[in-house]
Amino acid sequence: MTLDLSLPTAHDDSEAPGKTSKWLAVAPMAFLSMTVAIPLIIIFVYSFLARPELGAGVVWKFDPTHYVKIFIQDRLDGTRSFDTRYLKVIWNSFYYSGITTVATLVLAIPIAMWIATRDPRRRVLLVFLVTLPFWTSILIRTYAITQLLDEKGVLGKIVSFLGYKGHFQILYTPTATVLGLIYTFLPFMILPIYASAERFDFRYAEAGYDLGARKMTVLFRIVLPQISPGIMAGVALVFIPGLGSFLQPDMLGGGKTNMIANVVANNYGQARNWPFGSALSVLLCVITLVATLLLSVAARKRKAKRV
Amino acid sequence: MKFFTRKVGVAIALAAVASLGLVACSSSSSTTTASSSTAFPTPKGGELNLYNWTNYIDPAQLKAFTAETGIKVNLDTFDSNETLLAKLQAGATGYDVIVPSDYMVAQMVTLGLLEKVDVAGFPNGKNIDPNFLNVYWDKGRQYTAPYMYGTTGIAVNMKDPVASKITSWKDFFAAAKGTSVDVLKDQTEVVSAALRATGVAAADLCTIDKTKYAAAQKLLDTFKPKVINSDGGIERMVKESSMVRMAWNGSVHRMTVDNKNIKYVFPTEGLNFWADNLAIAKGAKNLDNAKIFINWMLNPKQGAVATNFTGYANAVLGSGPFMDPAIKADPAINTTPENAKLATPTPNCPTAARDLYTEVFTSWTSSQ
């Protein structure tokens, strides 16, 4: 293989200013297809295969019944009925992820706007502070939260010091799960909104005020529409990974608020039912895909309206 | 001549009787004669390649083995049974002694990955605890010797009035109404404990009788623990934010070090144990040295050295006197014979029964 050091010629893609050769995309594309596409294909294929008699894994025999079993329960008394358990778990995932998205949005917009209105040198420091949690493992941070929320921990001690006599229990409840999710995903909401807000020309806001608009009007009619690409990116970055959360319901929810990832993990582990775990994963993928499509259609419609 | 013949006749008759007796004798103990014909090997130096779990054998113990036998030990480590299986299936020759867990031994025997060496017939085979002799993964110990084992029982805080009265799984499941109960997030452990609590015998834990599972599910419907999690249990018990926990005996030993109120209960209905085993990989290059090593590890003193290092119980008779006082005094680790009888292997059920476990567990977790 020889290295081509010649200058770009007329037929080359990189002729246009700022455009680089399409061959630069080969390595990233290969990497992505190896780490994203191939595992997805494996999961999809597994979800249609049979199980071995003993042990985990799959047998190369077509078996589409796993998808049926998500919705139909063979009860222990011998009857069959519509199975709401997995739908409930999927609903849980959407519910907790939805609450997390709304809460992080409400928290992130003021924070991002505040950072964006500081002078440039302080902005760098503040953005750095937002990314600070990524310096330690999510496992350790979640563990630290259990120490904080425990009734014998920091918060419990403060509450009893303030004179509360009742049973203080936040840890191992759905509330703790949601608090953990909000904490984990907040930076993923702040950063894209900040990226949009930083480019926002605040003279537009001033012009709004000059023309007699009130604060709320300026926020909703001028600021938010301008930073909406950042909001959309933030929503996608929080809501979609939030659906697949595993650690927070397990460690903070006390294992009692199951989300879909916990059920998939049990099927791959103890239940040794890989095809069923795969079928659940595929279903989640499909639902997420539909949700994302709806989100982007909504975003496009809004854009079209504004133009 | 007459006299002579008579004498010879008697002698022949005696000899015949004696040989008949001998034949009868040797047929009743054919295994002993067979193994004595191929005498147990004596150390002649050389090497031994040991493939063990990470941090699961005392390096000083390996040095002692080398000093005694002149056999040099090369140690390599793995982190899961599945890793071990994958290595052997990929044709990793070069390992002599390996350390698979119970269910993995069963799988490896089926796949023909282990040498059949009649471990029970080794000179120290007599030291194997009878409770660990006829285990489902190796009936009569043809392939493996027991290494460490652990049980899944109940940790209770004796300060708590509800917890201190727990003696059975039935009490355990009822205790959640009166105190804070913590349970492993483990389908096999939770469902098998519920089956035991509703009267299913240890030998029947892989039943496919749905009515048995329906009864277990009915019991679990009323069971609302504070935490369902396999991690952090030691800390919650020590801090007394949980007063009862389904727990592994090794973890309870660590709890008692920091909180003297905690006690390990062997539930009366019986409890599950997992067990790791010393086995010889098929085609091992140093077969004789592997046999010598396993036999050496079945020495009571060596069993105790292993327990002192890992903190888990061994199944070598007579190892008690050599154990650390702290471990020896802890009934959670140094199991009494009565309690050892309560322990049966963690059920390794076929798919049909496993699906019923999954059914009960899924219903229970989604009803929390």
Longest dimension (CA), chain B: 98
Q: How many residues comprise chain B?
A: 368
Cα of A41 to nearest chain B Cα, Å: 23
**Mean pLDDT to the nearest integer, A116-123:** 93
pLDDT of residue B26: 40
CA torsion sign for A46, A47, A50, A52 is positive
Cβ-Cβ contacts under 8 Å for A179 (sequence gap 6 or more): A145, A149, A170, A252
Residue B82 has pLDDT above 70, yes or no: yes
Cβ separation of A271 and B357 shorter than 8 Å?
yes
Q: Is residue A135 packed enough to be buried (19+ CB in 10 Å), middle (13-18) or exposed (0-12)?
A: exposed
Tokens of A6: 């010649």
Q: What are phi and psi of A74, to 5 degrees?
A: -90, 100
Chain segment B124-171, per-residue pLDDT in tens: 999 999 989 999 999 999 999 999 999 999 999 999 999 999 999 999
Alpha helices per DSSP H over chain B: 2-28, 30-37, 59-69, 81-89, 102-110, 169-175, 187-197, 210-221, 233-239, 249-258, 287-297, 300-310, 325-328, 337-342, 351-366
Q: What is the pLDDT of residues B256-291, one digit of tens each?
A: 989 999 999 999 999 999 999 999 999 999 999 999
Which residues of chain A have a CB within 8 Å of the CB of B228? 254-256
Fold of A24-306: MetI-like fold (1.10.3720)
The string of DSSP letters for B129-161 reads -GGGTEETTEETSSSEEEEEEEEEEEEEETTST
| Structural domains in chain B, sorted by start | 47-149+274-334 (3.40.190.10), 151-272+345-366 (3.40.190.10)
Residue of B nearest to A264 (CA): B362
Of B356, B358, B360, the CB nearest to A273: B358
Count how many residues are written for chain A: 307
Smallest CA–CA distance from A150 into chain B, residue: B241
Give the Å distances, CA to CA, from A75 to A23, A211, B189, B249, B355.
56, 68, 21, 35, 12
Tens digits of per-residue pLDDT, A89-113? 999 999 999 999 999 999 999 999 9
Report residue A15's pLDDT band, with 50, 70 and 90 as the boundaries.
low
Query: What gap in Å lies between CA A222 and CA A227, rounded to an integer?
Result: 9
**Cα of B329 to nearest chain A Cα, Å:** 31
A55-64, A115-124, B6-15, B222-231: which has the minimum mean pLDDT?
B6-15
Two tokens, residue B188: 């096999």
